[in-house]
Copies of this chain bind each other. A is one copy, B any other.
Amino acid sequence: MFELETTAVDCNARAGRLTTDHGVIETPIFMPVGTQATVKAVEQRELEELGAQIILGNTYHLYLRPGEEVLSTLGGLHKFMNWNRPILTDSGGFQVFSLQELRKITEQGVAFSSHVDGSKHLFTPERVVEIQRCIGSDIMMVFDECTPYPATYDYAKASMERSVRWAARCKEAEEYTMPRYGHRQFLFPIGQGSVYEDLRRDCMKHLVDLDMPGYAVGGLAVGEATDDMYRIVEISTAEMPVHKPRYLMGVGTPENILECVERGIDMFDCVMPTRNARNGQLFTTKGKMNLRNARYRLDEKPVDEAIDSYASRNFSRAYLRHLFNVDEILALQLASQHNIAFYLWLARTARQKIVAGEYRQWKRQFLEEYSSNSF
Interface residues of A (CB under 8 A from B): 36-38, 40-45, 61, 65-66, 69-70, 73-74, 80-82, 297-298, 300, 310, 314-316, 318-319, 322-323, 325-326, 328-330, 332-334
Contact = CB atoms under 8 A, between A and B. Distances in A.
A300 B75 CA distance: 10
B316 A65 contact: no
Nearest to A64: B326
A74 to B, nearest CB: 6
Contacts of A74: 298, 300, 316, 318-319
21 contacts: A37-B319, A37-B322, A38-B323, A38-B328, A38-B329, A40-B328, A40-B329, A40-B330, A65-B325, A65-B326, A66-B297, A66-B322, A69-B298, A70-B297, A73-B300, A73-B318, A74-B316, A80-B316, A82-B319, A329-B332, A329-B333
Report, nearest first, the 4 A-B pairs whose CB atoms are least far apart.
A41-B329, A66-B322, A38-B330, A36-B326
A195 B42 CA distance: 46
B43 A318 contact: no
A318 B45 contact: no
A333 B297 contact: no
Contact of A328 (B36, B45, B318, B326): B36
Contacts of A323: 37-38
A80 B325 CA distance: 15
Contact of A41 (B40, B45, B310, B330): B330
Contacts of A325: 65-66
Contacts of A36: 322, 326, 328
A326 B315 CA distance: 30
A342 to B, nearest CB: 18
A320 to B, nearest CB: 11
A73 B316 CA distance: 12
Contacts of A70: 297-298, 318, 322
- Select the residue from A40, A41, A66, A82 with max chain B CB neighbours within 10 A: A66
A64 to B, nearest CB: 9
A63 to B, nearest CB: 13
A41 B333 contact: yes
Nearest to A74: B318
A82 B328 contact: no
Contacts of A65: 322, 325-326
Contacts of A80: 316, 318-319, 322
Contacts of A297: 66, 70
A332 B40 CA distance: 11
A300 B41 CA distance: 23
A301 B81 CA distance: 13
Contacts of A37: 319, 322-323
A193 to B, nearest CB: 34
A315 to B, nearest CB: 6
Nearest to A36: B326
Nearest to A44: B314
Contact of A333 (B43, B66, B310, B318): B43
Nearest to A329: B41
Given A69-B298, A325-B66, A42 B318 contact: no
A298 B330 contact: no
A328 B58 CA distance: 15
A73 B326 CA distance: 19
Given A66-B297, A81-B319, A318-B70, A310 B40 contact: no
Contacts of A42: 330
